[in-house]
Every structure is written in structure tokens, then in C-alpha cells.
Structure 1
Amino acid sequence: MDSFKVVLEGPAPWGFRLQGGKDFNVPLSISRLTPGGKAAQAGVAVGDWVLSIDGENAGGLTHIEAQNKIRACGERLSLGLSRAQPAQSKPQKVGPPTPSPTSRPPWAVDPAFAERYAPDKTSTVLTRHTQPATPTPMQNRTSIVQAAAGGGPGGGSGSNGKTPVCHQCHKVIRGRYLVALGHAYHPEEFVCSQCGKVLEEGGFFEEKGSIFCPPCYDVRYAPSCAKCKKKITGEIMHALKMTWHVHCFTCAACKTPIRNRAFYMEEGVPYCERDYEKMFGTKCRGCDFKIDAGDRFLEALGFSWHDTCFVCAICQINLEGKTFYSKKDKPLCKSHAFSHV
């Protein structure tokens, strides 16, 4: 990991978005850059870990605390960053990518964890898993069937030439036997510890030393969906500190499963990026771009403005904190208050 420091000269916008924070159990990092923005020009890259903000260790900051710390920097923002070096390895065959857990705030606007300032929203965590609920059980199906007659492999696992002994009844096995989890079993004694079903022809789960058939494992250990209350098998969605079937965690507007995409929360329900922006999105009145994380903004004339966009419509002088006039919803300085717009 290479650590370095960048200093951005103000005023905002700084041209980047954050992801993570102590409240998400994910380190702060850069999720998105504005092309040609101040952060991009300073060499900041998407994925850089944020170690410090204005000299303060960022490891203990929540997402909102980090945003507020950035806004308080004023005309000069100092960031301590760390960047992982690409691993050098020989080419090898790569299988299908495995989705990994991700954390996203409710105002994220792209799959790279982009964020927006929305102090009235509730922070959430979204993760996606394709494995059974943790702790992930061992799922095995034994198909090793051997005959003890004629000096076949034996012992507890049939590996040292001795007659095999059943791990369940501790009796010598004469005839066919199964090998599973390193032990030999009579086929009729390798059963689900819950329902007693013989597992010779089916898969099984091992959990805390006990063996279960898939249906019994699901009933006993699989998590329940927060919406339909049914047990979840296979792919699990973790969001809002709850577990969901993928098809149960959907956009409130278009009903499309959100899966591992970004989403917004509004009045307790999730929205996909497209529908949220359509229904609730906030843009700067001056530049018509979104007001992003790290951007200072103000409310005036019934609209939201980047602090650098709230300027006189005639001479472009910045009006933040100054007396101003308005004509046709456009701000004017005192000198041009009666000018033609």
C-alpha cells in the first residue's frame, strides 16, 4: 500500500464522492471522481482509501462526520490517502466473479458507491451474498461406496487396509459403506440428525458436528426474509440490517429487484437510482448538476445552489452571505438590482 497526501485548493466542489465510514463498518474511500475536477487533477483515483481529512485520522469517522469535516475545510482541503499496488502474478484461468459484500449509503447514485448529501436520510448497508447464511456450512454429497470383502480399504475412513468401522454405531462394516467427513458409515446410518432421513442419495449440510438434509438445515439455520417471512435459501440480500429474498427487495416505484445496485431510501422504502432521481433528485439551480457529497451548498429563492454557483446573473460576483436581489428567479447583486436580465 502506498500512502500519500494531496492538497486541494478551494473553494468547493472538490470533485469527488465518498463511500463507507465507521457506521458502515467499511473504511472511507473515494467512490467517484468528476472528470477534470480538482481531485482528479491532483491525482486522486477511485478506490483510494481516505486515511485522514485535514490532518485528522479518518478511521474513526462516520460517513456524515467525514462529510461535515470536508465541508468545514473551507478554502483548502488536505487528504491523506492510501492506494493498493496491483498484484504481480502469473496469468491464470479466472472463473466467474463472485459478488462480494458491499456497503452503500441510501443516497448512493451508482454501483461504485457514489453518494450525495442528504442529512434527512437514514444510513443503511447493502450487501449481497450467494452463499448460505454465515457461518457457511460445508455442503457435501458422498458418492464413495466400497466393499469391505476381499481386503478392501478399511479403518475409520477406509484408508489403511483395515476393515472399516461405522462412525455412528461403532460396529465393523460388512459390505457397502459410505465415506463422508473423513468417516465411514453404514449407508442406512448416515442420516439427518433432525428428521432421520437416509442421506446416501442426497446432499447434506454439516453444522456444529451434526448432519442435516437440506430441508431440515433450511428450517433450522436459514435466515427469514424481512418481507415475506419465509426462509431464504440460495442467494441472500442483506440490506437495512435485515435479510431478504432478492425478489422481495425491490424498488418501490418500478418493482425491479435492486440486487447489488445502488439504491436510495425515502420514507422508509427503497428506490432505484433512476426512479429516485426522477421523483426526489435535487440539482443545483445554477449549473443544473447534482449536489454531491463534499459540495457546499445553500438554499435561496426556493432552490438549492452550489455555493460557487450562487452568483449575480450580470457580473458573476459570488453572493453567498451577501445582500442580494432577485428578478425572474435569478440572483442579482446590489449594483445590478435594477438591471435588465
Structure 2
Amino acid sequence: MSELESICHKCNEVIAERIITALGKSWHPDHFACKDCQLPITEATFNIQSGEPVCSDCFVKNYSGTCFGCKQPILERTINAMEKSWHEECFQCNGPCKKPLVGTSFYEREGHPYCRADFEQLFAARCAGCEQPITDNAIVALSAKWHRSCFKCKNCSAPITASSFAVEGNKPLCSACSG
């Protein structure tokens, strides 16, 4: 055997004619085969598992995850979030905006991701005064939640800061208007 002869990684025989070089090894063309199905790999691209070649069909069937968003195999970069796998482009807000969420903070509700704005608009408690989402501290009074700035006298609109107040029509009254 001369120094220029190549030995097939699979059969350990000299490769006399056409040669395939992949994974730092030499192969007879018929011996460069998928480690799972044993069929020769004839595609220009292939996958690697445990240092051995795997055909695209076996890779999809045996190794790739399925995207929670589109239910298709993931063959490229995988986003792991909420104990699920996603394509990068499928990991997006489940609310109306559909913004990409890769690399950002997000909120989870019933197994779906949401950006902050959509999460607050869809799921935050609503103020009894202005009916907008409450995203900060709230005042709980009269069996409802209120923005601090919305909890004001129904007559004069003065902020109610005292712990005691009067009630008229399920709305607060300051001590000056209730007297």
C-alpha cells in the first residue's frame, strides 16, 4: 500500500477509484451511508449524529424536534421556551401584534407566549374608573381594582387618599362632598 492510497472507513479496504471524503474520513461511495437506515447518502448535505452521517429523512424522523408553533420539523436553530421547541420565526407573540419574541422577555398564558403590551391588554385586571389595564399597583376598594389616579371623588374628582370615604352609587365620595 502506498502513502497516497485511501482506506475506506467502513470496510477498511483500499479505495481504488472514486472517493468520498467527509467527517475527516475516506469512504467508498456505496459505504458512505446513513448510520440509521444504512442507505448510501447521495445528497450534497447530510446530518451528523454521534460522529456518523445521517440522511435527511432519518434525521427528521429520529432526531429533529417538532416546532410547537407550526408543527413542522426543526432542521435549523431551535428556540427552547416554555418547555417547548420552536423555529426562530415561529416563536412570536400569540396576541394581535404577532411580534417576534426571540431575545426578548415575554409572558406566558395557557401555554402561549405574549409580548408585554398584548398580555396586559388581553389579561391584566381592568380599572373600575377608566377600564384600562392595571399594570402597576392598584387600589382595591368597592369590590374592584382602581389605578391610584382613578380612585377619586365622583363629585369633585379630588383624589381619595384617606382610608375612610363615603360611597354613592358604588363610587367613592371624599369627606368634603359626603358631608
TM-score, normalised with respect to structure 1: 0.40
Query: Aligned equivalents of 1:287 and 1:227: distance in 2?
Result: 36
Instruction: Give the counterpart letter for 2:73 in structure 1.
Output: I
Aligned counterpart in structure 2 of residue 177 of structure 1, from 6, 13, 19: 19
Query: Aligned equivalents of 2:126 and 2:91: distance in 1?
Result: 31
Number of positions where the alignment pairs a residue of Structure 1 with one of Structure 2 = 171
Question: For the pair shown, which has the larger CA radius of gyration, 1 or 2?
Answer: 2
Q: Corresponding residue for 2:8?
A: 166
| Pairing 1:253-268 to 2, within 5 Å after superposition | 260=101, 265=109, 268=110
TM-score, normalised with respect to structure 2: 0.69
- Kept in 2, the 8 Å contact 1:283–1:290? The answer is yes
> How far has the Cα of 1:191 moved from its partner?
0.5
> The residue matched to 1:179 in structure 2 has which SS?
strand
Query: Aligned equivalents of 2:152 and 2:57: distance in 1?
Result: 66
Whether 2:167 is the aligned partner of 1:326: answer yes
Whether 2:40 is the aligned partner of 1:198: answer yes
> The residue matched to 2:57 in structure 1 has which SS?
helix
Change (3 A) 1:192 1:260: same
| Pairing 1:6-25 to 2, within 5 Å after superposition | none
Q: Corresponding residue for 2:134?
A: 291
> The residue matched to 1:218 in structure 2 has which SS?
helix
> The residue matched to 1:304 in structure 2 has which SS?
strand
- Kept in 2, the 8 Å contact 1:299–1:305? The answer is yes
Change (3 A) 1:184 1:223: same
Larger relative contact order (C-alpha < 8 A, sep ≥ 6)?
Answer: 1
Query: Aligned equivalents of 1:276 and 1:335: distance in 2?
Result: 39
Aligned counterpart in structure 2 of residue 300 of structure 1, from 141, 147, 150: 141
- Kept in 1, the 8 Å contact 2:149–2:159? The answer is no
Query: Aligned equivalents of 2:21 and 2:178: distance in 1?
Result: 89
Query: Aligned equivalents of 2:126 and 2:173: distance in 1?
Result: 20
> How far has the Cα of 1:181 moved from its partner?
1.2
Aligned counterpart in structure 2 of residue 218 of structure 1, from 50, 60, 66: 60
RMSD over equivalenced CA pairs, Å: 3.9
| Pairing 1:42-121 to 2, within 5 Å after superposition | none
Change (3 A) 1:277 1:337: same
> How far has the Cα of 1:214 moved from its partner?
1.1
Instruction: Give the counterpart letter for 2:47 in structure 1.
Output: F
Whether 2:31 is the aligned partner of 1:189: answer yes
The 4+ residue runs of structure 1 with deviation greater than 6 A are 245-250
